[in-house]
Amino acid sequence: MAAKITLPVSMDEKRSTRNRTRRRHRPLLLLSLIALTTYGLYAFGFFTSFTTVSPPSHHEPALVSNPPVASNTAQHAVPAAAGELVPLEAHIISKCPDTRDCLRELLLPAMIQVHEKVNFTLTYIGTPTENDGVECKHGPEECLGNIIELCAHRLYPDPKIWLGFTMCLTKDYKAIPERELVEDCALEHAVDFEKLNDCATRDDGGFGMAGHQDELHGPLKR
């Protein structure tokens, strides 16, 4: 038999063999690097920041911390005059255009906003006489108009009633104290005309005049 001849391996074949061996080991090297990197990150606590934070539950309400309470005691202070009504007083005469303008443009708008916070009263301007009477600027008719309005206040303490009635009369101040005007305003504001008339004429007007004297304010100086 002929002897088997082994050909020498060329340098190119050797390089090819080494390259194939290296390519076979590359996946193992990559896996080893990934494993080492992951272990190192875990060992140094890189993942702990992610594991300690959990998303909010949809079934549990989020807790909101209470805001800090201010140490200033004024925050909880109650005014000393809390609950007390503030005195508010107006001095008028019944048969006067200035009274109409004052009630319509100043007093009524203010009362709409603060009527629950004030103790509002009307007093009437006049001059006491020697016979215990009152002299009014626009004559006896104005005195009677003042008495009618004071009686409405006495019979109906609710400002919405007596002030509304007074406003109604004052709109047509020149006609005060005509019966038709008083009846119309009484009907409009649910005021009993008969009670009003009894108050104004009791004791021949003495009862109403006494009330006028009690609620009298001296003439204002201009």
CATH class of the domain whose range is 86-217: alpha beta
The share of the chain scoring above pLDDT 70, in percent, equals 54
Q: What is the 3-state secondary structure (H, E, C) of 93-123?
A: CCCCHHHHHHHHHHHHHHHHHHCCCEEEEEE
The token pair that represents 190 in the structure block:
């649910």
Q: C-alpha angle with apex 163: 151 to 160, nearest 5 degrees?
A: 115
Position 211 scores a pLDDT of 53
- Sole residue written with tokens 């193992």: 28
Residues 16-37: pLDDT tens digits?
Answer: 555 555 555 555 555 565 665 5
Tell me which of 90-99, 101-110, 208-217 is least confident. Answer: 208-217
The whole-angstrom separation of Cα 89 and Cα 143 is: 19
Which two tokens mark 186?
């009484």
**What are the structural domain ranges in the chain?**
86-217
